């Protein structure tokens, strides 16, 4: 199995993505690092530890990520989307959390990279603070990273502002560092792709019926589903981070278009926007912007792995 590090901020869709990774035989989750984001660090860390315990994977090292953005403080959270506990009100019902390792999550990521016998994929499904810090503080480890797969950004319209998607808006300076560096290939799964990969009631019902872990995920999804119904007027939930995680588990599930991007780090209304360069003389290398040409195949591949259903080969 391919080695994988997950940098996350659970978050209902993060929890689904974590279970997806932990239940996919194609990957070996070598570390989970939780940072501030959907809720404060204290809660995301607890949530990540509880999701590991829920799946019985208390062997997976858990690291403490950033508690704030690189440069500017912000207080915006997404408790209105994910519930005040970050897990749709279910956190207290989950098993006791895995204890985080002492030391920083960056040191844990670096250790995993140093010890790996093959290049490691990093799934960045929260603010990009930890990933930016890792690259900045350990440039020599870049060649040990296979690819960074980011859920974030919006080429069309954002979800925090008309311009900015949550993960990039949460730390635009960090996102700018990661998206414009030239050491490690980056694949970006933007909001338009993940909003397109939305799971409806039948998908959720199949997950709920799969086993107790699936039932727990479905219970977490229920209030999140209500939010999506109200906000987008569709009877379906976007499983943002799980879509990005599928690309880590089964590379090529999404289609890539190379696009050079910069992030608006100014303080105007477009702060956190991911802006494509449309002329040849772009200031940074292209990242692979991923789209989902076959949405039913994506949803089925995610559900099959979550529910332990054998894959058609």
Active site residues: 240
Three-state secondary-structure class, residue 298: helix
- Contacts (Cβ under 8 Å, ≥6 apart) of 158: 164, 165, 166, 169, 191, 272, 273
Cβ nearer to ligand BDR, comparing 34 with 106: 34
Q: Is 171 in the site for ligand BDR (CB under 6 A)?
A: no
Residue with tokens 């943002």: 240
Which parts of 51-70 interact with ligand BDR (CB under 6 A)?
Answer: none
Q: Looking at 165, 171, 216, 264, which residue binds ligand BDR (CB under 6 A)?
A: 165
What does the alpha-carbon distance between residue 105 and residue 18 come to, in Å, rounded to a whole number? 17
- Helix 105-115 with 129-137: angle, nearest 10 deg: 60
Cβ nearer to Ca ion, comparing 63 with 126: 126
Q: Looking at 57, 147, 240, 305, which residue binds ligand BDR (CB under 6 A)?
A: 240
274 token code pair: 């991911």
Continuous segment of H or E residues that includes residue 263: strand 255-263
- Helix 172-180 with 129-137: angle, nearest 10 deg: 50
> For ligand BDR, what does the binding mask look like between residues 241 and 260, x meaning CB under 6 A?
x-------------------
Q: Looking at 18, 27, 78, 87, which residue binds ligand BDR (CB under 6 A)?
A: 78
Q: Is 121 in the site for ligand BDR (CB under 6 A)?
A: no
- Residues in binding contact with ligand BDR, number by CB under 6 A: 16
Q: Is 85 in the site for ligand BDR (CB under 6 A)?
A: no
Which of ligand BDR, Ca ion, none does residue 147 bind to, with CB < 5 to 8 Å depending on kind?
none
Continuous segment of H or E residues that includes residue 64: strand 62-64
Query: Which residue in 96, 103, 117 sits closest to 28, CA to CA?
Result: 117
Task: Tell me how far, at minimum, the Cβ of 129 lies from Ca ion, in Å.
Answer: 12
Cβ nearer to ligand BDR, comparing 167 with 274: 167
Q: Looking at 4, 7, 11, 248, which residue binds Ca ion (CB under 5 A)?
A: 11
Cβ nearer to ligand BDR, comparing 139 with 226: 226
Which parts of 22-41 interact with ligand BDR (CB under 6 A)?
Answer: 38
Which parts of 87-106 interact with Ca ion (CB under 5 A)?
Answer: none
Rg of the chain, C-alpha, whole Å: 18
Q: Is 86 in the site for Ca ion (CB under 5 A)?
A: no
What is the 3-class SS of 144-202, one letter each residue? HEEEEEEECCCCCCCCCCCCECHHHHHCHHHHHHHHHCCCCCEEEECHHHHHHCEECHH
For residue 104, give the DSSP letter. Answer: B
Q: Which residues pair with 151 in a beta bridge?
A: 189
What does the alpha-carbon distance between residue 39 and residue 9 come to, in Å, rounded to a whole number? 7
Which parts of 227-266 interact with Ca ion (CB under 5 A)?
Answer: 241
Q: Is 190 in the site for ligand BDR (CB under 6 A)?
A: no
**Residues forming the site for Ca ion (CB under 5 A):** 9, 11, 14, 125-126, 241
**Residues forming the site for ligand BDR (CB under 6 A):** 11, 13-14, 38, 78, 81, 125-126, 151, 159, 165-167, 191, 240-241
């Amino acid at each position: 199995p391919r080695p994988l590090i997950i940098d996350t901020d659970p978050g209902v869709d993060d929890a689904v993505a974590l279970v997806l990774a932990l239940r996919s035989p194609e990957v070996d989750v070598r570390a989970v690092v939780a940072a501030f984001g959907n809720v404060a660090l204290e809660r995301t860390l607890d949530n990540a530890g509880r999701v590991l315990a829920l799946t019985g994977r208390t062997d997976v090292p858990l690291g403490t990520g950033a508690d704030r953005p690189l440069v500017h403080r912000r207080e915006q959270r997404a408790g209105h989307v994910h519930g005040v506990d970050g897990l749709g009100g279910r956190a207290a019902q989950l098993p006791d959390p895995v204890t985080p390792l002492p030391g920083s999550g960056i040191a844990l990521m670096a250790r995993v990279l140093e010890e790996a016998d093959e290049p490691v994929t990093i799934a960045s499904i929260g603010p990009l603070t930890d990933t930016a810090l890792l690259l900045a503080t350990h440039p020599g480890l870049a060649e040990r990273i296979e690819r960074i797969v980011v859920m974030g950004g919006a080429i069309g319209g954002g979800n925090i502002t008309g311009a900015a998607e949550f993960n990039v808006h949460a730390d635009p300076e960090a996102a700018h560092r990661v998206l414009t560096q030239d050491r490690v290939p980056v694949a970006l799964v933007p909001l338009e792709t993940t909003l397109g990969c939305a799971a409806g009631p039948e998908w959720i019902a199949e997950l709920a019926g799969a086993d107790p872990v699936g039932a727990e995920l479905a219970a977490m999804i229920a209030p999140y589903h209500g939010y999506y119904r109200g906000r987008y007027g569709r009877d379906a939930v976007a499983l943002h981070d799980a879509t990005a995680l599928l690309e880590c588990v089964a590379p090529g599930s999404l289609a890539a278009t190379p696009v050079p991007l910069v992030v608006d780090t100014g303080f105007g209304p477009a702060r956190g926007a991911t802006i494509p360069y449309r002329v040849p003389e772009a200031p940074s290398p292209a990242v692979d912007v991923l789209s989902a040409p076959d949405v039913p195949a994506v949803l089925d591949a995610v559900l099959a792995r979550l529910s332990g259903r054998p894959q058609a080969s």
